[in-house]
Amino acid sequence: MENLINWLEIPAMDFNRAVSFYKTILGLEIKETEMFGTKMGFFPTDGTNVSGAIVQGEDYKASTDGVLAYLNGGNDLQNVLDKVEKSNGMVIVPKTQINPEMGYFAIFIDTEGNKMAVHSIN
């Protein structure tokens, strides 16, 4: 097994607001489409990495309860974290070292009310 997780969907109440938030904090393009009545904003992938989408549909509800997904914070997650509050999100756990080998994590609430995390080695 290469990856335990192979796809992630982040619920959005306001699809355009959520797409804008994640574009800004992660500094990437998001391809938007609609499938089976659900709006989807796909994160970039080369087909070999775990990826996901922002989704808005009848069965999707944002939450701070439940699964906590960790996004890749690049070389230093602080670069992502610095953009969270500027983009109307809320940092609830600042950059915190796990240990020297595992690096750092932080937790934030996105514009939709989802609790999310970010991880980096530095």
Q: What is the pLDDT of residues 28-38, one digit of tens each?
A: 999 999 999 99
Pairwise pLDDT comparison (5 vs 121), residue with the higher score: 121
Domains in the chain (CATH in brackets) are: 7-120 (3.10.180.10)
What pLDDT score was predicted for residue 3? 76
pLDDT tens digits for range 72-98: 999 999 999 999 999 999 999 999 999
Angle ∠(10,78,89) on CA atoms, nearest 5:
40
CA distance 87 to 33: 23
CA distance 10 to 28: 16
